[in-house]
Amino acid sequence: MLTKSHIKLITSLNQKKFRQQHQLFVVEGIKGIQEFLNSHYELYQLFSTEPIFNAEIIQISEQELQKISSLKTPNTAVAVFKIPKTSNGTFDGLVLALDDVRDPGNLGTIIRLCDWFGIRHLICSKATVDCYNSKVVQATMGSLTRVEVQYLDLKSFIEVSTIDVFGTFMDGQNIYNESLPEEGIIIMGNEANGISEAIEQLVTTKLSIPRFGDLKATESLNVATATAIVLNEFKRHSTEM
């Protein structure tokens, strides 16, 4: 049975401060929930209109599902999972770092890209959108279960690192002409302002994605699109070695 306390808790998790307070977040839809059930994430509560999961559920009606879903068209189930503690281990290989990426859809897509290209560690500046925002979780399509996301002081993280730091800039070296390593930190910047000045000072290699259009009128690429191109180039070089 869905209670008022259930509704109050679940709807409160739309806000970051309550996700942090309760250390809980929401996952919606059959596929997404199943991904998290099959992962290291710990289930807190599962609400479903159908008994289709291999887990304890609170069965609810379609009308009750509407009350707790943040989607325009709710999809069968809503689950609440516990936010896991992040590890403080070492980072090896390629590490992707985001400098104040604010759009939930962009972050969700970038997490999926990390999963696709085998990037295990995603470092986010503290001003980057919360990865447990429901729109981000939805956009990751389950990839959040396979990519470790950490929120750190980005400047301090880079300063203590001993590996090369790469950043994308309009005036950087053509990425297609560069010899790219298997290890390094790749910085992607804010949607409107790019990489901040403080972080730019720490970049050891500036890269650019060249424009091929005749007019060259487009000012920049969407950060998620740029991330896909950059990760593809790094991984393409590493597989060719």
pTM to 2 decimal places? 0.93
**Residue that finishes a domain, picked among 32, 60, 82:** 82
d(CA 166, CA 205): 5
> CA Rg, the chain, in Å?
20
Task: Point out the least confidently predicted range of 118-132, 150-164, 216-230.
Answer: 216-230
* pLDDT for 233: 97
134 and 64 share one domain: no
Whether residue 105 sits in one domain with residue 21 = no
Which one, of 230, 175, 162, 231, lies nearest residue 202 by Cα? 162
Residue 127 domain boundaries: 94-240
Query: Tell me: the pLDDT tens digits for 126-181?
Result: 999 999 999 999 999 999 999 999 999 999 999 999 999 999 999 999 999 999 99
Residue 89 domain-assigned (yes or no)? no
Residue 111: name the closest of 135, 141, 77 by CA.
141
Q: Answer whether residue 65 shows pLDDT above 80.
A: yes
In angstroms, rounded to a whole number, what is the distance separating the alpha carbons of residues 102 and 143? 19
Q: Average pLDDT for residues 6-11, to the nearest whole number?
A: 98
**Do 111 and 26 share a structural domain?**
no
Number of domains in the chain: 2
Domain CATH code at residue 113: 3.40.1280.10
Q: Return the DSSP state at 194.
A: B
Q: Are residues 75 and 176 in the same domain?
A: no
93/154 Cα distance (integer angstroms): 18
> CA 47, CA 38: separation in Å to the nearest integer?
17
Q: Report if residue 87 sits inside a domain.
A: no
Instruction: State the burial class of residue 61 (Cβ atoms within 10 Å of its Cβ: 0-12, 13-18, 19+).
Output: exposed
For residue range 177-193, what is the model confidence (pLDDT) as tens digits?
999 999 999 999 999 99
Within the chain, where are the H helices? 4-12, 16-22, 30-37, 62-68, 104-117, 134-140, 154-159, 197-200, 223-240
Same domain, 157 and 130: yes
Hey, how many other C-beta atoms are within 10 angstroms of the C-beta on 21?
11
**pLDDT reported for residue 89:** 64
